């Protein structure tokens, strides 16, 4: 897996992932499990690889 998520994109994904994961604590009933969707941007931000970016040929890492 070649990294394809840049620094700014990475931090946006991590913050967004944590925010969506917080829904597990703030929502009631079955709707709270939607917070698990936050794992997707969180994990892709941590490992610097997004499968959808690879599929569409997108790379947000700045070239030197």
pLDDT in tens, the chain (64 residues): 899 999 999 999 999 999 999 999 999 999 999 999 999 999 999 999 999 999 999 999 988 7
**Structural domain includes residue 15:** yes
pTM of the model: 0.89
**Structural domain includes residue 41:** yes
10 Å Cβ neighbour count for 11?
A: 12
For residue 26, the enclosing domain spans 7-56
**Structural domain includes residue 2:** no
Number of domains in the chain: 1
Q: Helix crossing, 7-21 with 39-47: angle to 10°?
A: 150
**Structural domain includes residue 50:** yes
**Structural domain includes residue 13:** yes
């Amino acid at each position: 897996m070649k990294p394809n998520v840049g620094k700014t994109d990475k931090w946006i994904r991590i913050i967004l992932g944590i925010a969506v994961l917080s829904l597990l604590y703030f929502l009631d009933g079955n709707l709270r499990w939607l917070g698990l969707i936050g794992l997707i941007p969180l994990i892709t931000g941590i490992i610097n690889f997004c499968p959808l970016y690879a599929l569409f040929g997108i790379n947000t890492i700045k070239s030197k």
